[in-house]
Structure 1
Amino acid sequence: MGYDAAQIEVLEGCEAVRRRPGMWVGSTGERGLHQLVFEVVGRAVSEVVAAGARSVEVTLTSDGGVRVADDGPGVPFEAPATGDTGGPGLEAELTSLQTGAGPSGRHLVVVGHFIVGLLAVNALSSRLTAEVRREGVRRVQEYARGVALAPPLAAGAANGSGTTIAFWPDAEIFETTRCSFAVLAERFRQVAFLNPGLEIALTDERPAGGARAVRFRFPEGVRDYVAALDAEAGANLHPNVIGFEREDPRMAGTMEVALQWSGTRQERVRGFTNSRPTPEGGSHVDGFRDGVVAAITEYARKRGLLTAVDPHPLADLIGEGLTAIVSVKLDRPEFLGATRGLLANSEVRACVGEAVQDRLEAWFEGHPEQAMELVDRIVRGVHQN
């Protein structure tokens, strides 16, 4: 049997998403279900962070829906007039594959495993309602399985500004439509740590015994993250966390780093790029380790703890008891592998390494007793090997 262009079936928009949902959200199981939530929350968080607003409220409703509300400027349904800045309007985001919508680059907060756009959420929901509060007016539009039931309609005066998207995952598509409160809460907590000042609330209206809710906000960002990880491990050698933020034009982005050595033997070093976990590490984590090794080696040599002829395996020893968060936000992140778990931007390594070395050396000078205790312990490990 011959195969030619006549056998090619071209699918577009909602039809393409509904026919092959796993290609868009990863699976039709719980992972894909959560990707829908993360997609909507990621859009809201990015808008809020970029606009200097504060909060995102996520509610798991009693009828199986998910409602995500933010206090950002409100995304207009229509695209801006020709010549104005900004991407396509909210209606276009919900109905077509658009590029350039919303914050991008270092201002894009990636909450899910990847980014597929609001079209996928709309297409894979039995119902979706979008509400925009902007310039004193509240406007609403409703969809059924990705198809608009009517144009955006004015629905009265608006108190404040923001965008709310409520959706009901389609039971014809997903094996389960019940989101895990614990999975969502853990990821939202992580995103709040990585974006200082952001407030994310999660409310679950489904339990028969009454609603449950959590709220996350961490003014100190990654410093709070390190302190929390050590507190959870039940070990804290020094009460102060070493942390800093720095922008470096050479890597077209910013870095936020926090670290602390505790009394445990376990190493907990976690890397993130644009708020997305990078479990395989990459250039930002490699640069962090370079900087720590360089600072400790320099300190040890200046104080005679290491000589020029001593072996130099410090990289294998600095991790004992080390807890660290290395978060970079880049305009043009590059990754190796389909899962995006390994950051590849080569210039990031040198930038992070230099910054970590500078900050750690300054901390050593300001905390001589703690510095000597820490470096001496590491160097003793060198001599024992």
Structure 2
Amino acid sequence: MAKYLNIKRKWLVIIFLLSYWIQAKNEALGQEHLNKFHIEGYSQGTTYQITYYAADSVVTQKETDSLLARLDRSVSLYQPSSLICKFNKSAKGIIIDEHFKVLVKKALEINKATNNKVDITVKPLVDAWGFGVKKPAKFPDSAAVKNILKNVGSDKIWLKGLFLHKKKPGVQIDLNGIAQGYAADLLANFCEQRHVLNYVAEIGGELRIKGHKPDGEQFKIGIEAIDGNDINPGPLRKIIEPGDGAVTTSGNYRKHLEAGGRQISHIMDPKTGYPTQNEMISVTVWAKNGITADGYDNGFIAMGLKNSLRFLAGKTDIGAYIIYKKPDGSIADTVTAGFKGYIKLKK
């Protein structure tokens, strides 16, 4: 009997050691048991959410709320005490923080790359055409547009260290076209600092993605279709599995106003002073990070189809899925080399 108990104990020890070794090996390979966690909150004038897989709840809403609140205090146009509001009210500029600096530097870089089609100094135009915080009583006439353009142009701002200068007191900036992508990057970076390697972070429809579900299934993202008679979103047109990176979308159907029986785009042309009017309906961009994808999606809308395709030709670090209206009024789509491999299913 004693011999039997000794053998049993030995087998129990072996089983325990084997189980410990398997667990250690799985953890070393990142295969430990993962639980699903979901966070929802409000920031940047919109909602955000994170879905992640980890052994424990290492990322909390309190932490992500605090992270995004710091960004709002920097670049939110809805907070009168934010740095961006202080800059817009200043005569010559102000000292800004690192978040603000990163966004301005990237915006100026994209402005140059898109031949000035992306311009953060369009805030006076955004306000005048009814897309700002305060709504105007009427749209501007040609004389008003001409006057506003005196304060528009990225050559009218410049950075020196942490001081953002402006040439004229009337120069004002709007970072809404790039800030949400950057916010998604902040959420992604925070997850990775906590060793979370499988997540989807979304704010205002802009996404950062990494990894996959515990069973190996890739994260799937839907792209809206457009009704052929209008610019309203319809059923999902594409389902994509974008892999690691960022996915952002800009579209005239997302934010527009009615005037004289026509729809006015929220995307301003900084050269003419008028809302963009071309064949572009929506652009979904994939890039390695959100600040890049979000920074370019409006730019591609403003650039138009031919210029966007020319810009993206041969690029693999950024790509776009574009929905546009053909001369006969029908709806068509196209995809560039940097995006093509991510389309998985047509609906």
Same-fold call, TM > 0.5?
no
Normalising by the residue count of structure 2, what TM-score does the alignment of the two structures yield? 0.20
TM-score normalised by L of structure 1: 0.19
